[in-house]
Structure 1
């Protein structure tokens, strides 16, 4: 057995058992992948994949164990490669961050500015997606870390560390009648059309849960995938929108007004997601520390060792 066979197994699973797609991703041929998997199964003495008419349809019970081991082996090999690169230069390399639009646009700019100042020789790459997509990028090894809101779907192979709490505000046209009120209640908000986040975002579920708890059913006239889209349609009078407070800037959001709603809706927690196995380079740990002071390098390393999803801080 060899590392290439491990990669073939993992890639087949990532591509939903499609051999041709896995072969394409690995820049090899489908017959070559099939041959290596068969050789590995013969060496192990059991089948890794279930098949119907020579077509892979899933994993056997032992196959699930093999995939878990293969992922750990690949991750450890990547860790060795990172150690090799670090031995040559501790402050050079590439940092790939997977994040959502709102985090990239409103939360990370100051952090990235500080990081680039400290590590001018590190190439920083941002990849954007929805909360689940950015976690998948880290899980698949396409990104070093994910920075974004909590996800509805669990990711057991990732370590999720809470780092930033975001309160919410109500945003709408400056001439919207709701801003004439001295106080604002859920009932007041529910009387007006709302522009909401896409259901893939936990923020949408938290907001709707607050209305549900009050026995209210607001009218959702539109959903958007990021704060800028929601604000754009609020500015043309389509409705109010409930956003993280950090996304409203009175200097740039001309024609809009915002009102704090932290007393009406729960906060959201942005998290850092890392693979549970493998070596984390020092400058990656330093980037994490810039996002939240309590996520010190030693605290993150300890969480990785213990598998904890919380950090008390040093």
Structure 2
């Protein structure tokens, strides 16, 4: 057994057990992948993959247990290299950030700007996706940190750093009927609603508020992007419910924002990273800048 064979197992898992793609990932020919896998299974005395002919379908029970150990070995290897780079104060590399559109647009710009000034040799790679996929990116070591509101608390293998608390607002065109009188969930539920897709930007808090009031709003449009919601509110499709940070008084002066703090539970945006992952100093610096920016937005 050698380290390359264990790396091969990870490559196969990351490519959904595709021998050709795993070979490309390992920079070898496909026959070499098949041969190394055969040698490893022979040494262990048991197959690691379920097969249909030559096609790999998935891991056997033994394969599942071995992959858990391989993940630890891979993480240790990554940590060792990161520690060595950090010790040498290596200022080249890449910071991988996984986040949602809302955080990328409204929270990250200032911290990214400060990071670039301090670490000009480190590239920033930003992936915008759903919270579920952000967590997967952390586990696949394709992201160093994830920043979002939903789902992170469900994974106990993550370190969570609360970043900032925020509320939702309802947005309507000037002169809309909701701008007169006291806003309520009942009045909102009587209107066509445009808000976030399930799993994005506090959608669970919105559902909780209406559910506890036994109300069923007519959500006619759901999107991951606040700007998309604002666009269709401007077209008169209905009332938008978005994060308060997404309402920009200067750019959105044609829309009226109605505070929903007393109606919908607060949401908390969090920073997450793997518990057993060694964070280099430049990553810690970026997290500190995120927390400072979040604090500045609160004051």
**TM-score normalized with structure 1 length:** 0.85
Q: Which shows bigger deviation, 238-247 or 50-59?
A: 50-59
The match for 2:81 is 81
Where does 1:259-298 land on structure 2 (aligned, <5 Å)?
Answer: 259-292=258-291
Mapped to 2, the partners of 1:146 and 1:193 lie a distance apart of: 33
DSSP-derived class of the 2:194 partner: strand
DSSP-derived class of the 1:273 partner: strand
Mapped to 2, the partners of 1:169 and 1:3 lie a distance apart of: 53
8 A contact 1:169–1:259 mirrored in 2: yes
Unaligned runs of 5+ in 2: 293-299
Deviations, residues 24-76 of structure 1 (Å, cap 9, x unaligned): 34343332222212211222222222223343222222211211111111122
Unaligned runs of 5+ in 1: 294-314
Q: Does 1:68 align with 2:37?
A: no
C-alpha displacement of 1:202: 6.2
Q: Do the aligned partners of residues 99 and 174 (structure 1) sit closer, same or farther apart at CA in structure 2, a change above 3 Å counting?
A: same
C-alpha displacement of 1:217: 1.0
Mapped to 2, the partners of 1:152 and 1:240 lie a distance apart of: 28
DSSP-derived class of the 2:58 partner: strand
Deviations, residues 177-202 of structure 1 (Å, cap 9, x unaligned): 10122x21100111111112112326
DSSP-derived class of the 1:150 partner: coil
Mapped to 1, the partners of 2:38 and 2:260 lie a distance apart of: 59
**TM-score normalized with structure 2 length:** 0.89
Mapped to 2, the partners of 1:110 and 1:219 lie a distance apart of: 37
C-alpha displacement of 1:284: 0.6
Superposed CA RMSD in Å reads: 2.3
C-alpha displacement of 1:154: 4.7
Mapped to 2, the partners of 1:24 and 1:157 lie a distance apart of: 30
Where does 1:13-24 land on structure 2 (aligned, <5 Å)?
Answer: 13-24=13-24
Count of aligned pairs? 293
Deviations, residues 125-149 of structure 1 (Å, cap 9, x unaligned): 2221121222222221222111112
8 A contact 2:148–2:201 mirrored in 1: no
Mapped to 2, the partners of 1:180 and 1:72 lie a distance apart of: 59
8 A contact 2:135–2:152 mirrored in 1: no
Q: Do the aligned partners of residues 275 and 36 (structure 1) sit closer, same or farther apart at CA in structure 2, a change above 3 Å counting?
A: farther
The match for 2:210 is 211
Deviations, residues 291-311 of structure 1 (Å, cap 9, x unaligned): 226xxxxxxxxxxxxxxxxxx
Q: Does 1:95 align with 2:89?
A: no
The match for 1:185 is 184
